[in-house]
Each structure stands twice: as structure tokens, then as C-alpha cells.
Structure 1
């Protein structure tokens, strides 16, 4: 299902606590005032007949004909109750322990193990949604498109990501991070740039899943900022003229804590909160729904993909996000504009304020040159060369212009 219009992520029920800094890492705790008891998450190395924890690449089957190869760090298993009673935490269920089995093929990103248990691969829901963006290619056979585009759409597609263990300082930051009472989530910044968000239903789930953050996928921007941009330390500013007792000092400390929370909620995380433009339901889980979302791919803004679990009122129980790089955002933007104009190069070029030749070469630079016929691309290159040659002939060495012929 696709949500109507543009919506914001709803973080109501989650409170922000003061950030903790380690090198370029800024970790902002999210505390849930009322934990969700009838939905629980835990990490699984195995599920039924397959292991889902491996340091090697694995093939994820999307259907009997389609699949993709990716790093699969672990799986989350969601358990819930239908009557609102508390769900059992992992390790407290009655029954015989199951044997672990090691295999390499993953059947789907989200799969029901039984009526009240769902196993899904974190972030792969969102990544597959991005990789399959307008996967079908042109809906109308325009003359510019190659036979490959018509027959196979955008396949094959490949995107780069970094394992959390390779993001400088992340492992150490997670080790020394102080987990708050009732903490159910985390906002992760690198070099004061929002890299990822992680929210779970219950504090016990967060404590169990906190170490898995180092195994997750992160974008190129996260990796670069961790190397080159240290985090700034925001110091508390207490007005000593307002303090004459311990009660006054406590009140100033509370005020400063609220200012920190307001800054993170309204300034630093605003790009994430207004990110979802397209929301797609993946699985129903009692009163909860597992979704994935894509951004609007607006230029020069933050673009996050991710997945959520929300209840029947749209309140957030689970969140995991991946920030796209500038190059990935540009590719998503080009595909979205093309699809909005029925894959017509002239119409799309006009909407972007350019000509078809310039737009065709822009597609090639974005990595989509294989979608266009070779003779069309060659014609675009000749047109560009002639345009540049004509411009140079009209310009004298002293900077003036020659009279037109």
C-alpha cells in the first residue's frame, strides 16, 4: 500500500536524551515513555530451516525468478500477540531449543515462521525497494531506449554500502555508550550529519539489539564523515544569575536538557522526519504493519530509505534507516522524473529545463547509459561537441565575442 501524499515520521512517545560523543560519532538516545508490550523483536542467527547470520555475501530470493546478492548481517524476528497481552521476550518461550543449520540461500526478506512470528532482514527491505525503483523501465517504447531497457528494465542494478565495523570509531562508540533506562532507540550522527535511526518496541529489545548496529549497512556519506569530520561538543549554558539554590540549579539543568532535545528533534533530525514520500506495506502482524519507505529524492537535501513497524494508529514501534549518498540520490531523482513523464526523454528534459542531448548524457554519467541506444548516445555526444565548438569560435582570446557569420 502506498500512503497518500507526503507524510512525516511520527516519533511521538519517544523522548530525546543528551547526546554522547566519541570521536566523530554522536549517539542520541531515544527513550520510550510507555514501552510496547505486545510486540517484541530479537536478533536471530537462525530461523526454522536456515541460518541468517553470516559474514559472507548471500543471495536473497525475491521470487522464483528474481533475486539479489548482498551482505546479510542478521535477521530480526518479531513476535506479537493478538489480544494485547505482553509478548514473550526472546529466550523466555517454553519449548525445546532448535538446532542451528548453516546455509547460504535466503528465501525472502520477510517471511512468517508461524501465525504470530515474522522473520525479516533489517534494511534489506528498504534497499531492495530502492534497487527495484521503477524496475520495469519504459512503459511506452520510445525510440531512444535500447532493447536491453525494454526487455529487462533497469536490471542489473548494484549499490555500494559499508559494513558498520569499517566505519571509523563506531565499534568503540557503541562499546562505551551508556544505555539509558527505558531506552528504545538511537539516532546516529557522524560528523554532525544524521547517518541512521534505530527504534524498537521495548527497552529489553534495545539492550539485546544494540550490538547489532556494528553489523549493519551504512552509506558512503557516513563512512566519509567518520573519517574527516569530528563531532562538535555542545556545552551546557546555565545562567548563573538564575541560580541561588540547588532547586534552581536542577531547574536550569532540566531546561538545558529540553533545549538539547528540541535541537535534535527539530533541527538535526528534521531531514529524516520529513523523508518518507512513498510508503509500501510489506506484511501484516496483528495490529501492526511492517512497511518500507522511499524519499522524494529532492536535490541537495537528505534522502533516507528505511523500514518501519507501525500500529493501527500509525504510531512507531520499529524504525531502521539508511542514508543515501549524493550519487544514489541523483539516480533516484532521475528515475523518478523519468517515470513521472512516461519515460519520454524530450518531456523529461523539458521538465528539468534542458535539452534531450544534455539530459541523455546526464543519464550516462549517472550510470544509466546502457539503457539508451548507442547511436542515440553518439548523436548526443556529437551535438554536445558541436555546441562547445561553436561556443569557442564565437569567443575571442581577449574574452570578447566575434560577430556572427
Structure 2
């Protein structure tokens, strides 16, 4: 009966929390006053130092047109909470020291400013955006149009506490990025992804999955239910298996 119902109507619908940019406090004002730099083709959006999303397009004119639409995009539950409850982000300032007569000419000042810019970039890539940039993703090509391919990518759903993102990427035949959009996952969503991946690795067999995770069948069922994935299970089969395990 359960199988026929699943084929006829599909699995029970599941909803994930996401918020339009209009509902993220301060985002609209920030996008309105952010300076657009010459040649800018993308942006990393942060809320209280938490990376919310990456957005990349192929040309500066494309970005200039699409920049205001970022407030219409969807952002994760975690980002919404950070924007509501996070402390104000301290102002970023640069200090160029003039010790030992280091700044004498405009060329000296320009070189010092460039050095500060490089230091900022290194600190950002190595700290604030590290998890986005260094995570190994799995890519699935879902569409091809001429010389362009559309990919969707997933993180490894590790349980090491690092931030994790899903997203879409369009690249040309040379592998150059024509479009990129990411979505920051909450810890709850990471737990769901972790369980789904472990189940898929064991061909959706609960017994083998429980063994691989080093836990019991009943505990795995409890974790699946707690993650909001109980609709994937046949309650009658699960009850029988748990009863048999208890009797054994």
C-alpha cells in the first residue's frame, strides 16, 4: 500500500526554511549603498560575518543590472537568524603606517595601499571564505545548451562544524564560470543531507546504513524521524523490524 501511494502521489512534501532578501534585516540598505567597483562581476554576501551566498555573472554590465535583485533572492535560516540577532559588524579600516619615513611619494602611498589590499584578500580567502573555497564538492550536470553546461553541486555533508553550501554553476566549454549562485545550509539541513547521503551509499538499506554508522536500527530510525525525514520510511516495515530486533 505504501509503495503504491508513493508512486501515485509521491512522498510526503518536505519544506526547508528560506527567506527572501527583503526579510533579512539590513540587506536591502546594504545593497543600496554598497559601492560597485569597476569590473565587478560578483559578490559575496555576509550577515554578521557569516557567509550567506556567492553570486557571479560573466560581465560587469550583467552584474550592474542584477545587483539590485539580490534582495529578491532566497537565503538560509541561519543567515536570517544572524541578521536578526548577531552583533553589529565592526567597521573595516586600513591603517598604513608611516614608520621610518616609509611613505614619501604618491607611489609609496599607492604601493602601501596595494599591499593592504592584498593582505585583506589573503585574510578573507583564508578565513572568512575558507569553507566555501576549500570544500570538495560533488557536481552533477543537469542541462546542456550549446557550449554551456549547468551543474548543481553539493558539499560532503561533513559533521565537522564547518559551514556548507549548495549551489548552481554554469560553465562554458573551456570551464570558465558564466554563472554561480550558492545557498548556505543550516546545521539541521546539513544533518539531513548527511543522513540522506549515508542511506544512498548503502542503497537505502536501513540495516546496512545503521551498521556503517555504528548504531542500531532503532536509533537510525529515530535520527531519520528527528531530521524530518520520517515520511521516507514505511512505518509498518520499520515497526516490524524494530520488534524483531527487540525479540532477537
Q: Tell me the residue number matched to 1:62.
A: none
Q: How many positions carry a matched residue from both structures?
A: 239
1:162 and 2:22 are equivalent in the alignment? no
**Displacement of 1:290:** 2.1
1:211 and 2:68 are equivalent in the alignment? yes
SS at match of 1:367: coil
Alignment partner for residue 98 of structure 2, among 230, 240, 257?
Answer: 240
Alignment partner for residue 139 of structure 2, among 252, 276, 279?
Answer: 279
**Displacement of 1:347:** 1.6
Q: Tell me the residue number matched to 1:332.
A: 193
**Displacement of 1:377:** 4.8
Distance in 2, matches of 1:378 and 1:233, equals: 60
Question: Which structure features the higher share of helix residues?
Answer: 2
Note the aligned Cα RMSD (angstroms): 2.5
Structure 2 vs 1, CA of residues 372 and 255 (structure 1 numbering), >3 Å: closer, same or farther?
Answer: same
Structure 2 vs 1, CA of residues 270 and 154 (structure 1 numbering), >3 Å: closer, same or farther?
Answer: farther
CA deviations 1:117-137 (Å, max 9, x no partner) are: xxxxxxxxxxxxxxxxxxxxx
Q: Unpaired runs of 5+ in structure 1?
A: 1-145, 385-405
**Displacement of 1:154:** 4.4
Q: Tell me the residue number matched to 2:175.
A: 314
Q: Is the 8 A contact 2:12 2:231 kept in 1?
A: no
Q: Which has the higher contact order (CA 8 A, sep 6+)?
A: 1
Alignment partner for residue 233 of structure 2, among 362, 366, 372?
Answer: 372
CA deviations 1:66-100 (Å, max 9, x no partner) are: xxxxxxxxxxxxxxxxxxxxxxxxxxxxxxxxxxx
Structure 2 vs 1, CA of residues 317 and 257 (structure 1 numbering), >3 Å: closer, same or farther?
Answer: same
Alignment partner for residue 59 of structure 2, among 188, 191, 202?
Answer: 202
Distance in 1, matches of 2:5 and 2:210, equals: 19
TM-score by length of 1: 0.54
Q: Is the 8 A contact 2:154 2:167 kept in 1?
A: yes
**Displacement of 1:249:** 2.6
Alignment partner for residue 30 of structure 2, among 158, 162, 173?
Answer: 173
Say which one has the larger Rg: 1
Question: Which structure features the higher share of strand residues?
Answer: 1
Structure 2 vs 1, CA of residues 255 and 283 (structure 1 numbering), >3 Å: closer, same or farther?
Answer: same
**Displacement of 1:256:** 0.6
